[in-house]
Structure 1
């Protein structure tokens, strides 16, 4: 079996063909002067290789061993994709000059082109043949996909245009496609896949997507059935996930700014970025309403909602504890230490603030008054995250020195100690709905689940949960853990009962 690859060369050949088992080359590929964007192998004998690139050329090679035969200079802009038909009788090139040209598969001579009637109005980025070699699918910067009928003489006429629903803007440009059996698959610049049925193209396509940047946080809707969760990434994208289904759509915000901190309820989102502002955004399905903002006087490092009265929020910056009622700042309490994390009880009467010095300070909240009540010392590094258990009988804290500690809320004593099995900073933690398990996610790529009624050594470890580190973690139910990470993935784990 032979493999052909192409690229920018990095000082070597722009195109290489080699045997899959030995790696030995099977030809020389001259003729290109700039990056080669696409290549393809003729699937039938006599074998041929075709390439195309940024030098406006498509090149034709005979072999093996493969040698340059001739160049095709019919395009006037980047030639973005080149593909042989499955029966090997033809190949097609598509270009940023908005044209698709069809050639004889055996000789490389031009025999036809896609009709100008109904043609794309933007650069054509990709093309794919139908299994019977009688049609092609093209996608373009004009945000449409088109199906063309290809006649025996090589002419192409428009069969239909497929429109993919999107979010607006350049992210909706279609940059890739595949005709696989009865599936017509397109992918947009924003990373959304749309799958149409070739036999029933009028049917609404199935859409799914994922994050393109690091997934930074997860938020579970506790009352949802089936369980629904939101994830966000540093580029400001918010995606919805439904347990048992997967991708549930993208939330469209009117102000798509970067997100640093993020919490959510069924009816609204609360977010903050890097501009000292906290936004409350009403949610209706996949659409977000007009955001209300509040300036908290510093960059937030934690956002917390009192679940029993969601209009109340506690926000912490490096030097202040800020109370919000809806979008109004009702209280700002300056502190003499550096705040790194915080949590608020569901009824909004108590807050726990973690600091750079590794101490946990417990505050009572009465109206707009915040009063320090106790200081807990156990951690040996800056506090990174704090969470109350769902039954509010415990809370758990974690630090950058790889340790987590579960505390009894009533006695303020350590409930579970020696949670020291990560090898790097603990980024996030979550409680199971029954308050029995606490899960931690770390920079060391692992997630660890502890049973608070058993010694920490009886932990369950998920090694390599996310390449680059785990940044978000949540329980969908007592047996299902969801994690988000540096690799831009959301993963669902089924926990075995012990």
Structure 2
């Protein structure tokens, strides 16, 4: 048995309101680079389902920039470290350099891919110039009294550099080695968020929160003109040049991306996300970053909004040609649905309340159209789905239970009205999932609740209060299992819940069953309900025969080193293989027939694995703390 990585469906860029989000594209116009949580993602532009993840940073990442050669990436984080690494081979780190005692906001390469300037929010200094291969100093960054937000190096000789700061000034440098030349003040009266040299080196542009755009001579730093005064009505957070140096593009908090002509100083194209002019302002649609990839025949522009969505903008078209969505925060729950409908869909929920439906074949993620109005407001605790429909159900720590309809299509939507839960949800399960009368079970900290699998879900009967603190739930047909902090698994038979009869649970006699050695954290029935897998807080998995006489099938699934967070069985009649995810960041695939036969995907997700599911009998999907979804090929 083997497990190999097949694909990474990347997390969305990490964004902060009122701060620029750097995007970088490679010289061939094939990939973009951005920071997301503690990782850097390199993503194919034409097929966003193809991506590479760099995970060597140990703190929140902030920026990633391709070298002009296209062979390396320099990335920074909030601790002030810059790492230079290979982006063509296996991602080997070439160097790690401590730049400042604080957050790195931006990085720039020189045209020879030899020197780097990194800037940010330091204490003794706000930035530094180094060689990319050794970290030796090649100048100093000075002249600012507040954090530096952006840096750019002139791509041709004589070398020049410019930095933009919260102190409202630009500083111009001569190099190399780089040294202070002049401070440009009085052009901006608020924070300066972006600056960039044109590819031919003739011009320098700066943008800021005062909504102004200034052009300067790229060789001397002398101000030429202010353009587009009053056009943008919000802070301008990003700027990028076209490859011909005749145009540049800006991204603004007014929800617009605009292309500007240098010669006429006028905008030639405007895209407004979130609806046409005059529609109500939408905070998630604020544009916080932009890049104009070179060497592309379609002149594609890529922007990122505050929600982390990547917008594909082609000049001459009024709307984005594609919007790439995903998660920005760690994925906390997942489920699979639609397999029986021929449309396998991986539904995930995250820490910030977002729910995404991933096409298991293409890797495209769909977001509920009404998520802003009808979605969850925080941590999605659990997801569940029936077998015969395209609907899923989500429960979150806003104490609501919601139906997600059309989850297997391109336009899922939340139901109009959620069900209000009496307590904080812990787990969800669907009993009789393959029948015409499925029943939704909701486990809270105090009770097990019964709801219809409808939109909206309606409560049925009275809650069941177990005599122990239940922490895990699973159901298959009329069989229900609860796991608890009492280090035991309890089996129940479900009755009622059909034709108006109130549902009830009758506990089965499994008193002689050997208990797990730690609190039960997750449960999963095998496809036919023959077995029940129980994961514990100690990292061990017990497999039980789920019918009388109850017995331990195997206790040898014990390779995890931390809490088991999720379990899923392969949809095969032999009920042999199961996948598990853990806080130890690994994904394991196990065999019932051969308990000692297992395979491991080590370090599958930074900060832990929180969801696993099977697509057929040979593919596993996983999601976790890095906000990404990963596809694993299982060879038997």
| DSSP-derived class of the 1:26 partner | strand
Deviations 1:209-246 (A, max 9, x none): 32111101112113343421111101101112112321
Q: Could you tell me which residue of structure 2 aligns to residue 418 of structure 1?
A: 556
Deviation at 1:416, TM superposition (A): 3.0
1:384-463 matched pairs, under 5 angstroms = 384-410=521-547, 411-434=549-572, 435-454=575-594, 456-463=595-602
* Residue equivalent to 2:35: none
Q: Does 1:225 align with 2:225?
A: no
Between 1:303-312 and 1:478-487, the stretch displaced more is 303-312
Q: 1: distance between equivalents of 2:136 and 2:399?
A: 58
Paired residues of 1:353 and 1:362 also in contact (CA < 8 A): yes
Give 2:508's match in structure 1, choosing from 344, 349, 373.
Answer: 373
How far apart in 2 are the matches of 1:360 and 1:483?
A: 25
The 3 A distance-change label for structure 1 pair 335 and 17 is: same
Which 4+ stretches in 1 moved above 6 angstroms?
none
CA distance in 2, matches of 1:28, 1:335: 66
Q: Hey, what's the Cα distance between the residues in 1 that align with 2:517 and 2:282?
A: 48
Q: Is residue 405–residue 417 contact of structure 1 (8 Å, CA) maintained in 2?
A: yes
After superposition, what is the alpha-carbon deviation per residue over 1:269-320, rounded to whole angstroms, capped at 9, x for unaligned? 422223544334545733222123143x432221111212465112223342
Aligned-pair CA distance for 1:327: 1.3
Match of 1:342 in 2: 473
Unaligned runs of 5+ in 2: 1-113, 497-502
Deviation at 1:173, TM superposition (A): 0.8
Equivalence for 1:271: 394
Q: Secondary structure at the match of 1:260?
A: strand
Pair member with larger Rg: 1
- Summarize deviations over 1:319-339 as a string: whole Å, max 9, x none: 423222341141222222111
State the Cα distance separating 1:204 from its structure 2 match: 4.2
User: Does residue 1:81 correspond to 2:194, yes or no?
Assistant: yes
How far is 1:406 from its partner? 2.1
Deviation at 1:90? 0.4
Structure 1 204/255 Cα, relative in aligned 2: closer, same or farther at 3 Å? closer
Question: Residues 261 and 272 of structure 1 are in contact (CA less than 8 Å); yes or no, is this contact kept in structure 2?
Answer: yes
Is 1:257 the counterpart of 2:386 in the alignment?
no
- By how many angstroms is 1:23 displaced? 1.6
Aligned equivalent of 1:328, options 459, 465, 481: 459
Q: How does 1:45-56 map to 2 (within 5 A)?
A: 45-56=157-168
1:299 aligns with 2:424: yes
RMSD (Å), alpha carbons: 2.0
1:131 corresponds to? 243
**Partners of 2:213 and 2:229 within 8 A in 1:** no
CA contact (8 A) 2:402 2:414 kept: no
Secondary structure (helix, strand or coil) at the match of 1:304 reads strand
- Matched with 2:632 is 493
1:331 counterpart SS class: coil
1:494 Cα deviation after fit: 1.2
Aligned position for 1:288:
414
Would you say the 8 A contact 1:92–1:102 is kept in 2?
A: yes
CA contact (8 A) 1:78 1:96 kept: yes
| Unmatched tracts of structure 1, length 5 or more | none
Deviation for aligned residue 1:112: 2.2
Report the Cα distance in structure 2 between the residues aligned to 1:170 and 1:276, rounded to whole angstroms.
25
Quote the Cα distance in structure 2 between the aligned partners of 1:291 and 1:33: 52
How many residue pairs align between the two structures? Answer: 487
How many Å separate the matches in 1 of 2:313 and 2:402? 37
TM-aligned CA deviation for residue 86 of structure 1: 0.3
SS of 2:596's partner is helix
Displacement, 1:203? 6.8
User: Does the CA contact (< 8 Å) of 1:185 and 1:195 recur in 2?
Assistant: yes
Greater relative contact order (Cα 8 A, min sep 6): structure 1 or 2? 2
